[in-house]
Amino acid sequence: SQTIHQWPATLVQPVGSPLSLECTVEGTSNPNLYWYRQAAGRGLQLLFYSVGIGQISSEVPQNLSASRPQDRQFILSSKKLLLSDSGFYLCAWSVGVSAEAFFGQGTRLTVV
Partner 1 sequence: AQSVSQHNHHVILSEAASLELGCNYSYGGTVNLFWYVQYPGQHLQLLLKYFSGDPLVKGIKGFEAEFIKSKFSFNLRKPSVQWSDTAEYFCAVFTSGTYKYIFGTGTRLKVLA
Shorter beta-carbon distance to partner 1: residue 4 or 81: 4
- Chain positions 28 to 87 lying near partner 1, rule: CB under 8 A, are 32, 34, 36, 41-44, 46, 49, 51, 57, 59
Query: Least distance (Å) from partner 1 to the CB of residue 3?
Result: 12
* Stretch of 9-17, 22-30, 64-72, 95-103 contacting partner 1, by CB under 8 A: 95-103
Residue 31, beta-bridge partner list: none
What is the spatial distance between Cα 27 and Cα 10, in angstroms, rounded to a whole number?
Answer: 25
Binding residues for partner 1, how many (CB under 8 A)? 20
3-state class (DSSP) for residue 103: strand
Q: How many residues can be counted in the chain?
A: 112
C-beta of residue 24 within 8 angstroms of C-beta of residue 5 = yes
